Chain A
Amino acid sequence: NAGVTQTPKFQVLKTGQSMTLQCAQDMNHEYMSWYRQDPGMGLRLIHYSVGAGITDQGEVPNGYNVSRSTTEDFPLRLLSAAPSQTSVYFCASSYSQDHNEQFFGPGTRLTVL
């Protein structure tokens, strides 16, 4: 099992550009989520999904969209990048919303100029 994979590992954008961060898991997990982590801080939940076709907002959803067309994939879209979105983005998955062990991907380090 590859676990949770994320691409790209690094990305530099200009203000106003859009892009999609990819996340995939091969553990047949129902629950998937996206977090951002700013320097010296904890993780903040952006969006989450409890299963294919179901998504919901977390703590900091503005400027981001998600979709969940399959169990395996949970892409995060930045609609119009802003410097405030410079951060490290982690995707995570767990067996279900009631299963508290989350498995994290390696992260995407995003810089918006």
Chain B
Amino acid sequence: GQSLEQPSEVTAVEGAIVQINCTYQTSGFYGLSWYQQHDGGAPTFLSYNALDGLEETGRFSSFLSRSDSYGYLLLQELQMKDSASYFCAVSHGQNFVFGPGTRLSVLP
């Protein structure tokens, strides 16, 4: 089976840096994705890692270590609009499995 773990909540102040971790156990693994979801909205794609290392997209970066079955999403220069839930997702073949999500609250 597949399972993913994320912290349930993270709080940080505006302008700070926050890291959201994701560990996974899966029988097959193609890559790790990250999605953002605001309350009442649909998930939107942020990033994808298939290989070990860091991928940077503007203020957001994502890291993957396949040997440790671990990844993280790094958000820099936090803004109020970053308050949302963040989900990691493992793709294995044609299937996607999402983690339970981390609720990020950005305080002024």
Contacts and interface: CB of A to CB of B under 8 A. Distances in A.
Contacts of B91: 100
A51 to B, nearest CB: 11
Interface of B: 4, 30-31, 33, 35, 41-45, 48, 50, 87, 89, 91, 93-101
A75 interface: no
Interface of A: 31, 33, 35, 40-45, 48, 50, 56, 58-59, 90, 92, 97-98, 100-107
Contact of A50 (B4, B94, B99, B100): B94
A41 B101 CA distance: 7
Interface of B is mostly: strand
Given A42-B101, A48-B94, A107 B42 contact: yes
Contacts of B98: 35, 42-44
B83 to A, nearest CB: 16
Interface centre among A33, A43, A48, A106 (most CB of B within 10 A): A43
Contacts of A43: 43, 87, 89, 98
B100 A41 contact: yes
